[in-house]
Amino acid sequence: MKRQDKADRIGAMLEELYPETPIPLDHTDPYTLLIAVLLSAQSTDKKVNEITPGLFARADTPQAMMRLSVDEIARLIRQIGLAPTKAKNIYKLSTDLVERHGGLVPADIEALEALAGVGHKTASVVMAQAFGVPAFPVDTHIHRLAARWGLSSGRNVETTERDLKGLFPKEGWNRLHLQIIYFGREHCPARHHDLSTCPICSWAATKKRMAEEAKNNKSKRARR
């Protein structure tokens, strides 16, 4: 099956499975979304949603965040991975937003990427979900699924993003990004996944890919 045919079938399946695509990170505006996405790196959305109410009760604007010390921010997010580094970035980006952008989150991907701790994926999420600008944020989960499904070579996230943008209509990118994440959580986990029973992997993955992952799973079970 050609890549485009796979993409069309996968897109239709995901649309049927996930007609509603709520943003999994709790937030109230572009700033709180930006902070939540930054915190989600090497953490789970569930954990971020447990932490952010306490943080945002103290500071839910760049101006308020600047009034906290880095140590205070780190204490408020201490249960999150890489908390000390993230606290420094939150303080610095909040300061930059006030001093360079009038306290507003810019609706510009290059300006977002210039903020402390904000990479391309984080900036893309904010552009897509806060401002409705078509983007296709590719995290490690989407990168993995695209490779499993044969939609990309999987060499790196940049290649995966380019391949997915070429396969799916631009107007659907923002929804599809979330639909793939939901599908991965529910049906297509990273570890101990039997591709032959997956609603998509079972027909989209190559026989070689299925054999490789089955072998890897067997080796991991043997080492336990």
Cα 88-89-90 angle, rounded to 5 deg: 95
CA distance linking residue 12 with residue 119, whole number of Å? 30
CA distance linking residue 169 with residue 15, whole number of Å? 13
Residue with tokens 């399946």: 13
Q: Which of these, 66, 128, 68, 72, lies nearest to 96 by C-alpha position?
A: 66
Q: Please state, as a whole number, how many other Cβ atoms lie within 10 Å of the Cβ of residue 38.
A: 23
CA distance linking residue 34 with residue 25, whole number of Å? 10
CA distance linking residue 156 with residue 143, whole number of Å? 8
| Under 8 Å between Cβ of 82 and 41 | yes
71 annotated active-site: no
194 annotated active-site: no
Choosing from 6, 60, 86, 139, the catalytic residue is 139
Choosing from 121, 163, 207, 215, the catalytic residue is 121
Residues classed as catalytic: 121, 139
